[in-house]
Amino acid sequence: LAKTTQPISMDSYEGQEVNITCSHNNIATNDYITWYQQFPSQGPRFIIQGYKTKVTNEVASLFIPADRKSSTLSLPRVSLSDTAVYYCLVGDIWTPLVFGKGTRLSVIA
Amino acid sequence: GAVVSQHPSWVICKSGTSVKIECRSLDFQATTMFWYRQFPKQSLMLMATSNEGSKATYEQGVEKDKFLINHASLTLSTLTVTSAHPEDSSFYICSAIKASGGALTGELFFGEGSRLTVL
């Protein structure tokens, strides 16, 4: 299972763009990269998933370089409600996802 | 979107009793579900993989006789914490795979979590 490394925590002011980078040096060919958001006492919530290049949805963008050894989650114009823990996970859909420590994002007014 | 529901959301029990937590996929069939445990301020720890119609696969260090998993139907998996003790107090989260593309791909959905407090 590919191991991931993320910053433990990040702070940002409201309205700023936040980029969280995740390293996954031993990603396998069949592995997808998926980001989840978790609020206290709630289950993780899917944010975005990608395999290569760039993926964008209504809440975030995911940038994946050609070697796929890292990925960057971009949250545009964060608000206080984006304060949460963000997890980067790597794997194929049928392999149980192993959670790393995640990145605790604190958005400040 | 697909929904995975857990019940109960929270439960308090006395030490030595058993507690059952249900995980249901509400609008799709899930042959595979996963159970996680999360302690305060920590990440999710995978406990086991639950497969419909077969025995669960437990992660190293997880006692299969203490954490009984049953996946009797395509929409329900249950986790029973037997003879619960205070150290079993935790947030238990399940997830289910909604397959697509002829099961070649799919999406993973998480339940809301169940908080267990053992007194």
Query: Which of B6, B32, B44 has the CB atom closest to A99's CB atom?
Result: B44
Q: What is the DSSP string of A11-67?
A: EEETT--EEEEEE-TT--TT-EEEEEEE-TTS--EEEEEESSEEEE-SS-EEEE-TT
Query: Which of A42, A49, A87 has the CB atom closest to B112's CB atom?
Result: A42
Distances (CA, A) of B16 to A20, B39, B66, B82: 43, 20, 11, 8
Q: Give residue-wise pLDDT tens across range B52-85.
A: 888 899 999 999 999 999 998 999 999 999 999 9
Furthest CA-CA distance within chain B: 46
CB A2 within 8 A of CB A26: yes
The residue of chain A nearest to residue B34, with distances taken between CA atoms, is A96
The SS3 of residue A102 is: coil
Interface touch A93/B113, C-beta < 8 Å: no
Query: Which residues of chain B does A94 touch, with a Cβ-Cβ cutoff of 8 Å?
Result: 32, 97, 106
Query: Nearest to residue A24, comparing CAs of A104, A100, A85?
Result: A100
Q: Give residue-wise pLDDT tens across range B10-65.
A: 999 999 999 999 999 998 998 889 999 999 989 999 999 998 888 899 999 999 99
CB pairs under 8 A between A and B: 52
| Backbone dihedral angles phi then psi of residue A6, each to the nearest 5 degrees | -130, 160
pLDDT tens-place values along chain A, 109 residues long: 568 999 999 999 999 999 999 999 999 998 999 999 999 999 999 999 999 999 999 999 999 999 999 999 999 999 999 999 999 999 887 777 888 899 999 999 9
CA-CA distance, A31 to A84, in Å (whole number)? Answer: 25
Q: What is the DSSP string of B58-119?
A: EPTT--TTTEEEEEEETTEEEEEE-S--GGG-EEEEEEEEEEETTTTEEEEEE---EEEEE-
> Which B residues, 59 through 118, put their C-beta within 8 Å of a C-beta on chain A?
91, 93, 95, 97, 99, 105-113, 115
| Backbone dihedral angles phi then psi of residue A37, each to the nearest 5 degrees | -115, 140
Query: Which residues of chain A does B6 touch, with a Cβ-Cβ cutoff of 8 Å?
Result: 43
Cβ count within 10 A of residue A3: 12
CA-CA distance, B96 to B34, in Å (whole number)? Answer: 6
The DSSP code for B23 is E
